[in-house]
Amino acid sequence: MTGPGKEPDVVPALEVGGTHCAVAVVDTTHWRLVPGTVHRLALRSDGTAEEIIFVILECAHSVDIEPGRRWGVAIPGPFDYESGVARFRDVGKFDALFGLDLRAILLDDAETRPRDVAFVNDADAFLLGEWMAGAAAGHRRAVGLTLGTGIGSAFLIDGTVTEDHPAVPPEGRVDLLTIDGGPLEDTVSRRAIIARYAELTKSADTDVDVRDIAMRDRDGEPEARQVLDRALIALGRTIGPWVERFGATVLVVGGSMAASWDIVLPRLRAGIAQTAPAVVGRTAVVCATRPTEAALIGAGSAAFRRTTTRAVKSGSSHPEKRA
């Protein structure tokens, strides 16, 4: 805690994503990013181990923080968050990091010289950040979804992300669920949406992305509308019963697809209404209010609590939420 006239308590945080790496200093008194400390670098998740590590360290070096701090790092799975060892294999991103001890690499960095590193799943960090300073603030039970390359998810009770709950999917992972007999991500993912659109339009245009399909939907193109209807209504149908069983009062959606919120929201709610109509009136379905900051704030909270994501997920500790 800080007293009158003192500088706020701060922790450095990194967010490692599929297309970028970000760093910031997190003010743990007000749970915000310290102005002027946010830096982002492009990152290729299909690069070599040397290329990926170079970008991560270069990003860390861009923030002015004294050595000896505990760092928080938000990173997607599969990853051993306790040991800091990458377990990516045949997942289409960061495969070159398989088996590397990222904790040791960061601890050995001569420039930042951290005291310790706390790793946290990126979807968990996103929901923690939104709970501490965003759209999930004030809610006892919240569900978070990140929609981008795939589906990230987190379930939170009183500020603690949990995967050990009878009303939570295995490992807290919505991406492991199925719809119409197949994996959900075969219907709801960047890859699936683009592939289905190419199939319907018989197009060989490899530059089309989800945001382009969303724009074409706004322009009234039937193929774009059909693809997005199928994907987003399926997501709502799948997540609705879990939101209902969990008793969440808010469902927060982030990730690159959430930038097209006018496209996402009506379809997501329509899907939820098909399988869990009570959720529509009881649970707020909202877009993230800290879409670019939440994961950094969540990573900072992991460092602040001097814990690993497994301690977070088991419910053994949770951050004090301070105004």
Q: What is the DSSP string of 215-259?
A: HHHHTT-HHHHHHHHHHHHHHHHHHHHHHHHHT-SEEEEESGGGG
Q: What gap in Å lies between CA 272 and CA 280, rounded to an integer? A: 7
Give 3's pLDDT tier (boundaries 50, 70, 90).
very low
Looking at domain 10-125+292-314, its CATH class is alpha beta
Reply yes or no: is the peptide bond before residue 169 cis, omega within 30 of 0.
Answer: no
Rounded to two decimals, the pTM is 0.88
Tell me what the mean pLDDT of segment 133-157 comes to: 95
The separation between CA 219 and the C-alpha centre of its own chain, rounded to angstroms, equals 30
Q: With 50 as the cut, is the pLDDT of residue 2 above it?
A: no
Residue corresponding to tokens 């500088």: 7
Cβ-based neighbour number of residue 3 at 10 Å:
5
Q: Which fold has domain 135-287?
A: Nucleotidyltransferase; domain 5 (3.30.420)
pLDDT band at 31 (very low <50, low <70, confident <90, very high): very high
CA distance 60 to 40: 10
Residue 318: pLDDT band with limits 50, 70, 90? very low
Higher-pLDDT residue of 168 and 148 is 168
Q: Note the pLDDT tens digit of each residue in 73-94.
A: 999 989 999 999 999 988 878 9
> At 314, is the pLDDT very low, low, confident or very high (cuts 50, 70, 90)?
very low
pLDDT at 312 over 50: no
What mean pLDDT comes out for the span 247-274?
A: 96
Q: Is the pLDDT of residue 195 over 50?
A: yes
- Report whether pLDDT(149) > 90: no
Among 104-108, 166-170, 313-317, where is mean pLDDT lowest?
Answer: 313-317
Count of alpha carbons within 13 angstroms of residue 182, beta-carbon side: 7
Backbone phi, then psi, for 140, in 5-degree steps? -75, -40
Higher pLDDT, residue 203 or 41: 41
Query: Residue 166, SS3?
Result: coil
Residues in the chain: 323
Residue 126 has pLDDT above 70, yes or no: yes
Task: For residues 232-254, give the mean pLDDT.
Answer: 97
CA distance 249 to 51: 42
CATH 3.30.420.40 maps onto the chain at: 10-125+292-314, 135-287
Taking residues 24-37, report their average pLDDT.
95
